[in-house]
Amino acid sequence: MEHKHRYDAQGKQLCCIPQEEKIYTDADAKKLLEQKHPKTAHSNDHDDEDGHDHSHSGDSDNIFKMFLPAIISLVLLLAGIAMDNWFPQTWFTDWVRVVWYVFAYIPVGLPVLKEAVESIGKGEIFSEFFLMGIATIGAFTIAEYPEGVAVMLFYAVGEVFQTLAVSRAKANIKSLLDQRPDEVTVLRDNEPQTVKAETVEIGEIIQLKPGEKLGLDGELLSATSSFNTAALTGESKPDTKNKGETVLAGMINLNTVSQVKVTTAYTDSKLSKILELVQNATSQKAPTELFIRKFAKIYTPIVVFLAVAICLVPYFFVNDYQFTDWLYRALVFLVISCPCALVISIPLGYFGGIGAASRNGILFKGSNFLDALSNIQNVVMDKTGTMTEGVFNVQEVVFDSAFNETEILQMVNVLESHSTHPVATAIHEYVGKPSNEVELQDTEEIAGHGLKSTIDGKELLVGNFKLMDKFGIQYDLDPNTIVYTTIAVAYDNKFVGYITIADTIKEDAQDTINLLHKLNVKATMLSGDKSTVVKYVAEQLGIDNAFGDLLPEDKVNRVKEIKAKNETVAFVGDGVNDAPVVALSDVGIAMGGLGSDATIETADVVIQDDRPSKIPMAINIGKQTKKIVWQNITLAFVVKGIVLALGAGGLATMWEAVFADVGVALLAILNAVRIQRMKF
């Protein structure tokens, strides 16, 4: 008899545990494996952030090829220095010695000289390649062959480390880009066919095996299925979807073979839009980055002319002027002044920040928003869907004892079935399936008030207290004393009572406010919901200021009041309904960006899941990125300033120059990549 897998209500497999572990392994769901075997999982499957990497043979070969020119140059240089100083050879003189060092120079120097020529061809004369080229060739002209080779060798090694650092930063983002599979299995004439994802048309059905990634957005046709959404939200926790629910490209199917009806073209899927956003993020430069680029363009020609001046001007003022001595000082000055530590490490720092944020399910549209968030003083947020779940539940039913509560609730439930409002959903959840025995007549929705209908010749009113006032229904309570959202009910021109509905506060909302306060950021809640509800939520969470009963223009005015104090504002909302406020704020943050194309389009920062704790995390990533960038700027200027002064005075040799240039660049690069390993 064929075995059939058994599953619980959440889609978890109850049998064949080894098979389940295999599926989790295939799906790259490391956290799921660790939950099952917390002590043994690590030995089999390392996490990308556990502080070390597995070296694959292909990667090792590539790294060796990158370092090969430097290795050849180093061997020849060390051999030459040994024959110069430690093991003198009679044949190692004159032209033989020159040729030896030229051969040592070529592997590392030729690519740089080629880059310098190409830069000049593009009109960029004073590039770092030009500086290194004239400095090392100059060293050869004054017979300082070992130092000329050494300068270029260390520069080449620095370039390789820079390339590796950039590759690592790109790998963090590439891991996101790799989440979209190129091929999918579609059912055509009831036969599975593997085709290119971009060729699949809307309406076709994808068959998704356990461990496979979904290639396009669609609607789940299977009864239930569990997915790993880590590629989209940064969370590896399984998310169970039911028939008819939306599933997105990049989700990994777990446990069951599922069928998905394609609803969106390949290029229009949420994941495609996210990938495009991430790939374009580095084109939006931060002010610091833009300044350094402009600075380098002005700074480089100035130091070239200063180097020429150091070489030639002393001729008119120094009695025992020696051209070779002052040329050497000028060359040292040139090597020190190369701005590569700045022009490499600063973009790398911002790139690392964007990559770190992407890994945590936070998308920045540019490094300028990393800078902007680091200086935010106020976070203004919506209530529903941001700090609360956006899912309403009935809290209490307060009806006059003269009425039959069950009968009235059935009537209300049937009437609310004509509405799509979240309140109606809450009542359906509480009461159950609407009764077929209740017959409605003359049903009418009164905008901004509620619903009216006739049952058995008697009028039923369900809505807010404005509806009661409109129809002259008398009641003996003050609605403002009720904290929750209130649904008033009247039947046969008599006040029956009310039902209170409340939204659930998100589990990490409290942590969010606490973390914002630790970052010295003030929190303000603006909502169109009832003021008593908004103030109650604000008091529960410790939010600094809260305002309810607001229209969109009222929210704009509140944000203008904060901006009038010359304080920076980040607004957190859905990015669509609050577009005017998002436009006014310094940074617009969209919550739950997976749900809306417009969110991804309008917001500056997109939080891919609905967790508000990602707001302070995004601010912290911005602050850490900015801190690292300014550490690198300070390091480069201080060290270069000191060694430049020593070089101009003849107190620094080429070796100090190498440290000031390549050494500082390496230190700055190592500092910049730290952000890629940070836990936020």
Active site residues: 382
Secondary structure string (H, E, C) spanning 377-414: CEEEECCECCCEEEEEEEEEEEECCCCCHHHHHHHHHH
- The SS3 of residue 454 is strand
- As a whole number of angstroms, the distance between CA 292 and CA 299 comes to 10
Residue pair 106/148 in contact by the 8 Å Cβ criterion: no
SS3 assignment, position 592: coil
Compute the distance between CA of residue 554 and CA of residue 572 in angstroms, rounded to an integer. 16
Coil, helix or strand at residue 591:
strand
Query: Cβ contacts of residue 561 below 8 Å, gap of 6+?
Result: none
In whole angstroms, what is the distance from residue 47 CA to residue 140 CA?
A: 49
Instruction: With beta carbons less than 8 A apart as the criterion, state whether 581 and 558 touch.
Output: no
Which H/E stretch holds residue 597?
helix 597-602
Q: Which residue has the tokens 């017979």?
A: 143
Is the C-alpha dihedral spanning 469, 474, 475, 481 positive or negative? Answer: positive
Query: How many beta carbons lie within 10 A of that of residue 678, not counting itself?
Result: 15
Please count the residues of the chain. 680
Q: How many C-alpha atoms does 607 have within 13 Å on its Cβ side?
A: 24
The two three-digit tokens of residue 647, written as one number: 């070089």
Environment class of 103 (CB within 10 Å of its CB; exposed 0-12, middle 13-18, buried 19+):
middle
Own/partner contacts of 452-461, CB < 8 Å, gap of 24 or more, are 453/415, 455/411, 455/491, 458/491, 458/492, 459/490, 459/491, 459/492, 459/493, 460/411, 460/412, 460/415, 460/489, 460/490, 460/491, 461/488, 461/489, 461/490, 461/491
Q: Which residues pair with 494 in a beta bridge?
A: 491
